[in-house]
Chain A
Amino acid sequence: MSHIPTRDEVIEPENLVYSRTCLLTDNALSYCPGCGHGTAHRLIMEVIEEMNLQADTIGVAPVGCSVLAYDFMNIDMQQAAHGRAPAVATGIKRLHPEKFVFTYQGDGDLAAIGTGETIHVCNRGENITVFFVNNGIYGMTGGQMAPTTLPGMKTATSPFGRDVETMGHPLKITELVAQLPGTYFVSRQSVHTPANVRKAKKAIEKAIQYQKLNKGLCFVEIVSNCNSGWKMTPLESNKWMEENMFPYYPLGDIKVPK
C-alpha cells in the first residue's frame, strides 16, 4: 500500500488560503456529494465563528436530511421533532433572550408539517433566525413530493409529475412570511456558484446581526439542489435548479429593514 498523505503534508502553510471553520466538526458530512446542505452548514458556521458567537448560540436541527446537523456544527444544539423547530426555538429564545437562536429546516419540515409553527413564529416576531433549505423535495425519505415541488416535477409520490389540480400548488412560504409584520429581514439565496455563495453569506450575516436588534424574525431561504432526489448528477441538478427553480423562486432580498 502506498502512503496516503495526511492533510498537513498536502497543505503547505504558505499555500493555505482558506481553511475550514473550527465550528464545523471533524465528522464526515452525511450528505450526498454535490448536495447544497453542506455548503449551507459551512456558511452559517463561518459567520457564527467570525462574529464570535459560539458560546452564545443555540441551534435547532430539523427532521430531514439535516437531522444530524448537530453532528457537524460545533455548537450547542437541540434536535426538534419534524416541523417543530420554530416552537422549540421559541422556548429557547423566550428563556434566553440574550442568546443567538436559530433553526435550520428543510421545505417539508418548514412548509408542510411545520407550517403552523412557521407562520406563528414569524407572526409573533420571535427574535430568532430561520435558515430554510428549499430543495423542492423530501430528500431524506427518498424523494417524495414536497409542498415546494414544482408543477409537473416528478417525484416518488408524483411519478407522472406534480398535477396542481389534485396535488396543489408549490407553496411560496417565504413570500408568505414576508407579508407578516413579525418578520424583519427575509431573503432568498442559493449556494451553487461562488458568486451565490458570497451573496448567501452576506444574507446570513445580516440575519444573524439583525437578531441582536430584537426587531423580529430573520428568515433566509436557500434554494438548493437535491441531486439524489432529483435523480441527476450534481452539475445537472444545478443547471436544472437555475432553469426551473429560480424562475418560480426568484433569488434576492424579499423584505429588508426600512
Chain B
Amino acid sequence: MKDIRLMKGNEAIAEGAIRAGCDGYFGYPITPQSEVMEYLFANKIKERTGMIVLQAESEIASIHMVYGGAACGKRVMTSSSSPGISLMQEGISFMAGTELPCLLLNVVRGGPGLGTIQPSQSDYFQTVKGGGHGDYKMIVLAPASVQEMYDFAKLGFELAFKHRIQVMVLSDGAIGQMMEKVELDEQVPRWTDAEIKAMSPWATTGKTPDRERNIITSLDLNPVKQEIININLQKKFKHIQETEVRFERIQCDDAEYLFVAYGSSARICQKAVLLGRERGIKVGLLRPITLFPYPSDELAKLAKQVKGMLSVEMSAGQMVEDVRLSVNGAVPVEHYGRLGGIMPAPDEVLNVLEQNFIKEKTYEPHTN
C-alpha cells in the first residue's frame, strides 16, 4: 500500500531527507522555513535512523558545520530563508572550492534586507549566478509542489555526490508553507563508514596506513595550480549543463505563446495556461526544474515555434535574463513579476501575456 500523507512543503523536505539517508542537519530558525528543523526534532530521528540535528548559533555556523560533516563524506544539509542564506555565502563558496557535496534549501522570502516573510523569488541571481565569491555554480532545483520538496531531498543528495557539488533547492514561502499530499517512499539506509570510504575516498575519515592523508582545502597559493583547479571546476559545470537539465513542458506542443516560470510562479502559470486555452489562446508553459543547469536548449527550440515568451517570476526580473540569453533575440521575451511578497493571480499573468503579444501587438508577430 502506498504511504500518502498530507504535509507542508517544509515538512516534506525534512521527511525526504530522513528517508534519503541524511546523516546530519545543522540550522538556525527563520520564517518561513523553521518547520524543517522543528520536524526533524519532533520526529525523533536519532532513534529512527541515527541522523543528528543541531540548532547552531547562526547560519554562518550552520553552513560551516555542514562543511565539516560533508568533508567527512556524510550526507549533510542545512536550510534557511533569504537573510540566512546571505550569511551562508562564505561557507557555500568554501564548499564550492573544496567540491563538497551537500543539500541546501532556501525557502525564499521577499527582500532586500529583512524584507518580508511572504514568498518571493528574488534570490535567483544570488543562487544561480554565484552568491559567494569566486567562479562557481551550484546545481539548483526548483520545486513546484510539496511532492517535489520531498523528492528533491533524495535527488539532491544523489546529484550532490554524483558530481561532488552543492545542491540548492530553491523554494519559496508558498511552496514551503502550503499543504499537499505527498507519496513517501522507502527508507534509504544511512551509509556505513566502510561505504563512505569506498564511495568518497577523498573524505577525512582518519589517516590509515593504507593511504596518504586526506586534506580538504580550497587554498592553493600557486596561481598556475589555482587556474587548473578553476578550469577543472568549469569543466564539471559544463558537464552538468550537458547532462543534468530538467524541465517540464506543459501544453507546449501546439503553443503559440509561452510562459516560462519555476516554483510557485509555475503553479500560477499552469492555471493561466488553462484559462488561456479557455479563451482560445494557444499558450503553454515551460517550467525549468533545474535553474542551473538551465534548459536553454529547450527554450531555443521553443523560440522557433512561439511568437512570444513571458517570464513570470516573483522578482523584478532575474530569470528573464536567462530566458533572453537562451532565445538570443529570436523571439520577444517579456517579464512580469510581483514584488515584496505579493503573488500574482493566474488571470493577471494571462492578461499581461495577452497585452504584450496579442492585443496591443507591441511587437511584430514573429514569423519564420
- Residue numbers of A with Cβ under 8 A of B are 54-58, 60-61, 67-68, 70, 73-81, 84, 87-96, 99, 116-117, 120
Interchain CB contact (< 8 A) of A78 among B26, B66, B76, B217: B217
Asked if A95 and B23 make an inter-chain contact with CB atoms under 8 angstroms apart, the answer reads: yes
A22 to chain B, nearest CB (A): 11
B 51-68 binary contact with A (CB < 8 Å = 1; else 0): 010101110111011111
Asked if B54 and A56 make an inter-chain contact with CB atoms under 8 angstroms apart, the answer reads: no
Asked if A77 and B216 make an inter-chain contact with CB atoms under 8 angstroms apart, the answer reads: yes
Asked if B206 and A91 make an inter-chain contact with CB atoms under 8 angstroms apart, the answer reads: no
Chain A residues contacting B26 (CB-CB under 8 Å) are 90-91
| Complex: A51 Cα to B208 Cα, angstroms | 15
Q: A55-B207, A88-B64, A116-B60 are in contact. Are A77 and B213 (CB under 8 A)?
A: yes
Chain B residues contacting A92 (CB-CB under 8 Å) are 68-69, 71-72, 204
| Complex: A84 Cα to B204 Cα, angstroms | 17
Asked if A94 and B217 make an inter-chain contact with CB atoms under 8 angstroms apart, the answer reads: no
Chain A residues contacting B24 (CB-CB under 8 Å) are 91, 94-95
| Complex: A74 Cα to B207 Cα, angstroms | 8
* Any A CB within 8 A of the CB of B251: no
A178 to chain B, nearest CB (A): 19
* Any A CB within 8 A of the CB of B218: yes
Chain A residues contacting B217 (CB-CB under 8 Å) are 61, 70, 77-79
Asked if B65 and A58 make an inter-chain contact with CB atoms under 8 angstroms apart, the answer reads: no
B 31-54 binary contact with A (CB < 8 Å = 1; else 0): 000000000000000000000101
Interchain CB contact (< 8 A) of B76 among A73, A91, A116: A91
Asked if B68 and A90 make an inter-chain contact with CB atoms under 8 angstroms apart, the answer reads: yes
Nearest to A58 among chain B residues (CB) is B204
* Any A CB within 8 A of the CB of B194: no
Interchain CB contact (< 8 A) of B54 among A54, A60, A90, A99: A90
Nearest to B209 among chain A residues (CB) is A55
Asked if A87 and B72 make an inter-chain contact with CB atoms under 8 angstroms apart, the answer reads: no
Nearest first, the 3 A-B pairs at minimum CB distance are: A91-B68, A87-B64, A91-B65
B344 to chain A, nearest CB (A): 39
A88 to chain B, nearest CB (A): 4
Q: When A and B form their complex, what is the total count of cross-chain residue pairs whose Cβ atoms lie within 8 Å?
A: 132
Asked if B213 and A76 make an inter-chain contact with CB atoms under 8 angstroms apart, the answer reads: yes
A-B contact pairs, 27 of them (CB 8 A): A54-B206, A56-B206, A60-B68, A70-B215, A74-B213, A75-B207, A76-B204, A76-B207, A77-B215, A77-B217, A78-B215, A78-B217, A80-B64, A81-B64, A84-B64, A84-B67, A84-B90, A84-B91, A87-B61, A91-B71, A91-B72, A94-B24, A95-B23, A95-B68, A95-B72, A96-B205, A120-B61
| Complex: A87 Cα to B209 Cα, angstroms | 28
Q: A87-B60, A116-B61 are in contact. Are A80 and B215 (CB under 8 A)?
A: no
Within 8 A of A (CB), among B201-252: 204-209, 213-219
| Complex: A73 Cα to B65 Cα, angstroms | 22
Q: How large is the interface on B (under 10, 10 to 19, 20 to 34, 35 or more residues)?
A: 35 or more
* Any A CB within 8 A of the CB of B154: no
Nearest to B65 among chain A residues (CB) is A91
Q: A78-B68, A88-B68 are in contact. Are A57 and B57 (CB under 8 A)?
A: no
| Complex: A75 Cα to B61 Cα, angstroms | 24
A95 to chain B, nearest CB (A): 5
| Complex: A147 Cα to B219 Cα, angstroms | 25
Asked if B207 and A87 make an inter-chain contact with CB atoms under 8 angstroms apart, the answer reads: no
Asked if B61 and A58 make an inter-chain contact with CB atoms under 8 angstroms apart, the answer reads: no
A3 to chain B, nearest CB (A): 32
B104 to chain A, nearest CB (A): 14
Nearest to A90 among chain B residues (CB) is B65
| Complex: A68 Cα to B67 Cα, angstroms | 18
Chain B residues contacting A94 (CB-CB under 8 Å) are 24, 52, 54, 65, 69
| Complex: A77 Cα to B204 Cα, angstroms | 7
* Any A CB within 8 A of the CB of B94: yes
Asked if A95 and B69 make an inter-chain contact with CB atoms under 8 angstroms apart, the answer reads: yes
Chain B residues contacting A78 (CB-CB under 8 Å) are 67-68, 71, 204, 215-217
Interchain CB contact (< 8 A) of A57 among B65, B98, B206: B206
Interchain CB contact (< 8 A) of A87 among B56, B204, B215: B56
Q: A76-B207, A91-B64, A99-B206 are in contact. Are A81 and B71 (CB under 8 A)?
A: no
Given contacts A75-B206, A75-B213, A91-B26, 9 further A-B contacts (CB under 8 A): A67-B219, A77-B215, A81-B64, A81-B67, A84-B61, A95-B24, A96-B205, A116-B60, A117-B64
Chain B residues contacting A120 (CB-CB under 8 Å) are 56-57, 61
| Complex: A209 Cα to B60 Cα, angstroms | 30
* Any A CB within 8 A of the CB of B74: yes
B229 to chain A, nearest CB (A): 14
Chain B residues contacting A58 (CB-CB under 8 Å) are 72, 204-206
Chain A residues contacting B205 (CB-CB under 8 Å) are 58, 76, 96
Asked if B213 and A91 make an inter-chain contact with CB atoms under 8 angstroms apart, the answer reads: no
Nearest to A87 among chain B residues (CB) is B64
Chain B residues contacting A57 (CB-CB under 8 Å) are 206-207
Asked if A55 and B208 make an inter-chain contact with CB atoms under 8 angstroms apart, the answer reads: yes
| Complex: A78 Cα to B61 Cα, angstroms | 16
Chain A residues contacting B90 (CB-CB under 8 Å) are 81, 84
Chain A residues contacting B67 (CB-CB under 8 Å) are 78, 80-81, 84, 87-88, 91
> Which of B66, B208, B217 has the most chain A CB atoms closer than 10 A to its own CB?
B217
| Complex: A55 Cα to B213 Cα, angstroms | 10
| Complex: A190 Cα to B69 Cα, angstroms | 32
Chain A residues contacting B91 (CB-CB under 8 Å) are 81, 84
Chain A residues contacting B61 (CB-CB under 8 Å) are 84, 87, 90, 116-117, 120
Chain A residues contacting B68 (CB-CB under 8 Å) are 60, 78, 80, 87-93, 95
A183 to chain B, nearest CB (A): 16
